[in-house]
Amino acid sequence: MTDYLYEHFNNRELSWLDFNERVLQEAMDDRTPLMERLKFLAIFSSNLDEFYMVRVGGLKDEVLAGFNRPEDKTGLTPKQQIKAISMRAQELVEIQYATYKKITKQLSNQNVRFLRTKHLNHTQLDFVKEYFRTHVFPVLTPIAVDAYRPFPMLLSKSLNIAVEIASNGEGKKRLALVQVPSVLPRYLELPTDEEEHTDLILLEDLIIQFIDSLFKGFVVESTMPFRITRNADMPFHEEDSRDVLKQIEKELKKRRYGVGIRLEVQQRSLRKELLFMLQDVLDLQDRDIFIVDGPIDLTFLFGIYSQIGIEYDDMINETLIPFIPEGLESGKDLFQSIAKQDYLLHHPYHSFDPVVRFIAQAAKDPNVLAIKQTLYRVSGDSPIIKALTDAAESGKQVTVLVELKARFDEEKNIQWAKQLEKAGAHVIYGYKELKTHSKITLVVRILEGGVLQRFVHLGTGNYNDTTAKLYTDIGLLTTNEELAEDATNFFNWLSGYGERPSWHQFETSPDDMKHFFIQKIEDEIKLHEKYGNGRIVAKMNSITDRAIITKLYDASSAGVKIDLIVRGICCLRPGIKGVSENIQVVSIIDRYLEHSRIFYFYQNGNEDLYCSSADWMTRNMKKRIEILFPILDPSHKTYIKDMMALQLVDNVKARRQRSDGRYTYVKRGNKEDEIQSQIIIHQYTGGRWNNIPSVFEREPSNWAEREVLRLRAENEKMTDD
């Protein structure tokens, strides 16, 4: 393996910021409906919160521990990374708020207005005054800060108002804090004279308007909203813990009050003395301060999108109705259908409902003896948890691995674990120091004559019926004997003692999956050297693993053509002469979050294709229990190849990474039709693909175009028939 240079790699953290910039670009894109653009601003904020809480928090821990050696692929120390992150994040946040102002101005032209109290008419002012008196004032708690009452430990991500007050006739200023209650809606819809108008006011502006009612006998000199983000990189040590569940519950309590790592302050209310005081109390540097030109914490826009946006059809995307494959419709016996053939599901183009009903039917079926499932993230009111609870209460053998260490879902997963245990399920928490990230269900059913039949569901995404409407993922329902045998051995391995089994079709991590991928790339190199037709196509969320990237560079140098569809972090740099000139990296950010993990190796025409719960990240290869499974049915292979081909020629929502690591939109020629892959995939999954782009009239120049040409021919034949 060649030893490549620092400049041949992208920094992990800066690459993530590049990804979040692509999210921000969706908010900036005039082609995106206005309410959808608000949603992308909220996603950007939510993403950045988690990034600071986890990644920046972890880097600060390293600095505090004295680590100052280059441990990154690009040769940067933790301190250097924090400095570079701050500069880039400050730039992006400035763009975010400029975009917010632009969008809200456009919304105002469409009769959706964000108002401050000085803009309210008499009716609206009377309304907010009464609302404050009846709903807000009883919940507020002013907190004095003085020699006897030190600065309080404020919750991470809580919105607060610093208040300077003075006694009547006394010049000395005093400090108090008022927390904006998270139990109340962040915004209030105001009465208007026009039915088609929507006027909104933020809760903090409403509180500031009447804040003097909290300080009788004092004069409010100034108010300054602010927000603290704390380190949530939870250092969980299992060595000394005999009860994993109790240990995680203990660590979760610490997360809310971790070390401060970021302070956000509203520009229009900025008071330098207050800012310096907060900075000193939190021990923050200038680069940790974000002075924003607008409301703090734009995640409140999620609520605007979901509650207000629904009233304006022209400001949201047209809903794409998911399809249900024939044989899996409601009312059908799913076991009977799956016994006849394997089903490939591509969510959200295919409905997630058959997966939910598969588990619900197993819970009710008297012939089902056992259900075994891994759970990483599930929805708040999960029908899958309910089905598993019903199955356990009815006496079935139910085994559930609940991953308690799924970040930011720990509390929810603890709740589910306790509920399932109470119902009689056997709940396990996986292996020490490893997260079980696999997505697998096994149902054991008895047939006439006492013969057992096993049904398996494997997927690239979580058993979450809510996110399945937003995340693109691949699922497989099968009775394949070798896959079923592997599934049985997998659960026995997790729940008992013993060495890792020998698999028929699976590959698993830690470690073995990484060796498998490196060997597949090596095989592709050897076949290319012999036949000259090497091709690798891979789709994933992120790629960070140095050994896999290095092997891909080796393959590129040998002439193998490599197409990577990577939504998020990409530490690989394409297009470097003599290193990665045969690699292209495409990232698609659109209405759905691209989440599938798919890996294709041409293998001189044998075409091996796999799906997995794992990305090409070091954590997936070394610190998680993951499953890679093959796609065996030729029609399923064709479908997945078609989907990846469409994404590789997307010229609306695709960006390509340049050799310097930055991303640019794919340029479309003057005579080329728009190819928005997610929209076309929806049409194709439904059985028709109309309006074939004329871009494919020319001679195909690569794998993706050849695949799409074949698709076009098949569609024309179906139309003729």
Tens digits of residue pLDDT in 104-114: 999 999 999 99
Domain-embedded: residue 326: no
Cα distances (angstroms) measured from residue 637 to each of 354, 456, 474, 482, 677 = 21, 19, 12, 18, 18
585 and 609 part of one domain: yes
Residue 652 DSSP one-character state: S
711 bridge partner residues: none
Is 682 one of the catalytic residues?
Answer: no
Residue that is last in its domain, among 315, 350, 384? 315
Which token pair is 587? 């990232």
CATH code of the domain covering residue 256: 3.30.1840.10
Collapse the DSSP code of 564 into the 3-class scheme (helix H, G, I; strand E, B; otherwise coil) and give the result: strand
Residue 620 DSSP one-character state: H
494 and 602 part of one domain: no
> Lowest mean pLDDT: which of 396-405, 439-448, 544-553?
396-405
How confident is the model at residue 699, as a pLDDT?
46
How confident is the model at residue 183, as a pLDDT?
95
Kind and range of the H or E element at 266? Answer: strand 260-266
Domain-embedded: residue 546: yes
Angle between helices 57-64 and 78-109 (to 10 degrees): 150
Q: For residue range 575-608, list pLDDT tens digits in order.
A: 999 999 999 999 999 999 999 999 999 999 999 9
Domain-embedded: residue 106: yes
How confident is the model at residue 196, as a pLDDT?
82
Residue 52 DSSP one-character state: I
Collapse the DSSP code of 177 into the 3-class scheme (helix H, G, I; strand E, B; otherwise coil) and give the result: strand
Cβ within 8 Å of residue 21, ≥6 positions away: 92, 663
**Do the Cβ atoms of 392 and 423 come closer than 8 Å?**
yes
How confident is the model at residue 691, as a pLDDT?
47
Q: How many structural domains does the chain have? A: 3
What are the φ/ψ torsions at residue 191 (nearest 5 degrees)? -70, 140
C-alpha span between 112 and 33 (Å, rounded)? 14
Q: Which domain holds residue 119?
A: 6-315
C-alpha span between 278 and 263 (Å, rounded)? 8
**Over 90: is that where the pLDDT of 662 sits?**
yes
How confident is the model at residue 696, as a pLDDT?
37
Domain-embedded: residue 323: no
Collapse the DSSP code of 377 into the 3-class scheme (helix H, G, I; strand E, B; otherwise coil) and give the result: coil
C-alpha span between 64 and 537 (Å, rounded)? 41
What are the φ/ψ torsions at residue 566 (nearest 5 degrees)? -125, 110
357 and 311 part of one domain: no
First to last CA, the chain: 53
244 and 176 part of one domain: yes
490 and 531 part of one domain: no
**Do the Cβ atoms of 554 and 528 come closer than 8 Å?**
no
**Over 60: is that where the pLDDT of 242 sits?**
no
How confident is the model at residue 545, as a pLDDT?
97
Residue that is last in its domain, among 447, 469, 501? 501
594 bridge partner residues: 472
595 and 663 part of one domain: yes
SS3 labels along 186-202: CEEEECCCCCCCEEEEE
Strands 173-179 and 198-202, by their bridges, are: unpaired
How confident is the model at residue 703, as a pLDDT?
61
- The amino acid at residue 223 is T
pTM across the whole model: 0.92
How confident is the model at residue 241, as a pLDDT?
43
Cα distances (angstroms) measured from residue 586 to each of 22, 400, 474, 572, 677 = 12, 37, 19, 12, 12
- Please, what's the largest Cα pairwise distance for the chain? 94
How confident is the model at residue 406, as a pLDDT?
61
C-alpha span between 108 and 101 (Å, rounded)? 10
CATH code of the domain covering residue 471: 3.30.870.10
443 and 391 part of one domain: yes
27 and 115 part of one domain: yes
Domain-embedded: residue 321: no
Domain-embedded: residue 435: yes
382 and 454 part of one domain: yes
Q: Give the model's confidence band at 69: pLDDT under 50 very low, under 70 low, under 90 confident, else very high.
A: confident
CA-closest candidate to residue 674, choices 700, 698, 646, 702: 646
Q: For residue range 500-530, list pLDDT tens digits in order.
A: 899 999 999 998 999 999 999 999 999 999 9
How confident is the model at residue 512, as a pLDDT?
95
437 and 528 part of one domain: no
Burial class (CB in 10 A: 0-12, 13-18, 19+), 666: middle
- The amino acid at residue 538 is A
Residue that is last in its domain, among 465, 485, 501? 501
**Over 60: is that where the pLDDT of 251 sits?**
no
Residue 189 DSSP one-character state: E
Q: Which of 8, 346, 350, 437 is catalytic?
A: 437
C-alpha span between 109 and 114 (Å, rounded)? 11
538 bridge partner residues: 564, 599
Q: For residue range 450-501, list pLDDT tens digits in order.
A: 899 999 999 999 999 999 999 999 999 999 999 999 999 999 998 887 788 9
Domain-embedded: residue 256: yes
What are the φ/ψ torsions at residue 150 (nearest 5 degrees)? -65, 165
**Over 50: is that where the pLDDT of 693 sits?**
no
Length of the chain: 721
Q: To the nearest whole number, what is the mean pLDDT of the chain?
A: 90
Peptide bond between residue 501 and the one before it cis (omega within 30 degrees of 0): no
Q: Give the model's confidence band at 246: pLDDT under 50 very low, under 70 low, under 90 confident, else very high.
A: low
Q: Give the model's confidence band at 347: pLDDT under 50 very low, under 70 low, under 90 confident, else very high.
A: very high
**Over 60: is that where the pLDDT of 721 sits?**
no
C-alpha span between 94 and 88 (Å, rounded)? 10
Q: For residue range 422-433, list pLDDT tens digits in order.
A: 999 998 887 778
347 and 249 part of one domain: no
- What is the gyration radius of the CA atoms in the chain, in angstroms? 28
CA-closest candidate to residue 682, choices 673, 690, 670: 690
Please give the distance of CA 383 from its chain centroid, rounded to a whole number: 21
Angle between helices 410-423 and 244-255 (to 10 degrees): 150
Q: Give the model's confidence band at 380: pLDDT under 50 very low, under 70 low, under 90 confident, else very high.
A: confident
Long-range contacts of 316-321 (CB under 8 A, 24+ apart): 316/33, 316/35, 316/36, 317/33, 317/36, 317/591, 320/348, 320/349, 320/679, 320/682
CA-closest candidate to residue 144, choices 171, 170, 182, 173: 173
Task: Average the pLDDT over 40-57 and give the result.
Answer: 96
168 and 107 part of one domain: yes
Domain-embedded: residue 664: yes
C-alpha span between 305 and 298 (Å, rounded)? 12
**Do the Cβ atoms of 468 and 461 come closer than 8 Å?**
yes
Kind and range of the H or E element at 80? Answer: helix 78-109
